[in-house]
């Protein structure tokens, strides 16, 4: 008998010692906006929860912004709580598709790639995400004139 994802997740966090069950986000309205220009004129970025290895010794408590030119070959995710039995992080293109975006840019399918990608920590705090990290990423995207942000939770 298969266990539902939400039940497995609840049990996983309980096994890690969390005393309160995770409260899933719910929005009655979709917090997204329609694209205001053609895709082939749009600037694209990525937002990930994968940690750049240079930041491993430091606890990262806020959103960070990195030049795409500094994107690592692999991201550090071992400290994150995810199903390491049925998935893996060996194929960077499956969770950070920069090469695919570069090909789409060369083909003029998208306008261009923004100068930076963004990291959001997995603090499991909706309040910090809404009040601190999301505004930081929005500011950086506005500075970089981003039209589309691809959200990649790991």
Q: What is the pLDDT of residues 71-127, one digit of tens each?
A: 888 777 666 666 677 767 778 888 889 999 999 999 999 999 999 999 887 766 778
Residue 12 lies in a domain: no
Residue 56 lies in a domain: yes
Question: For the chain, where are the alpha helices, taking DSSP H only?
Answer: 5-15, 92-95, 98-106, 126-128, 134-143
Residue 9 lies in a domain: no
Distance in angstroms (rounded) separating the CA atoms of residues 52 and 154? 13
Which letter does DSSP use for residue 76 in this model? B
Count how many domains the chain has: 1
Domain of residue 75, residue span? 21-26+38-152
Residue 109 lies in a domain: yes
Q: What is the pTM of this model?
A: 0.76
Residue 2 lies in a domain: no
Residue 113 lies in a domain: yes
Residue 119 lies in a domain: yes
Residue 139 lies in a domain: yes
76, 22, 70, 24: which is closest to 50 by C-alpha?
A: 76
């Amino acid at each position: 008998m298969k266990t539902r994802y939400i039940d497995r997740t609840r049990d996983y966090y309980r096994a890690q010692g969390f005393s309160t069950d995770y409260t899933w986000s719910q929005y009655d309205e979709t917090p997204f906006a329609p694209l205001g220009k053609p895709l082939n004129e749009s600037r694209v970025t990525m937002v990930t929860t994968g940690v750049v290895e240079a930041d491993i010794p430091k606890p990262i408590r806020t959103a960070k912004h990195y030049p795409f030119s500094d994107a690592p070959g692999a991201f550090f995710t071992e400290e994150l709580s995810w199903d390491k039995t049925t998935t893996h992080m060996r194929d960077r293109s499956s969770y950070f598709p920069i090469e695919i975006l570069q090909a789409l840019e060369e083909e003029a399918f998208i306008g261009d790639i923004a100068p930076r990608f963004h990291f959001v920590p997995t603090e499991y705090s909706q309040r910090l995400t809404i009040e601190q990290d999301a505004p930081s990423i929005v500011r950086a995207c506005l500075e970089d004139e981003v039209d589309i942000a691809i959200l990649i939770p790991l």
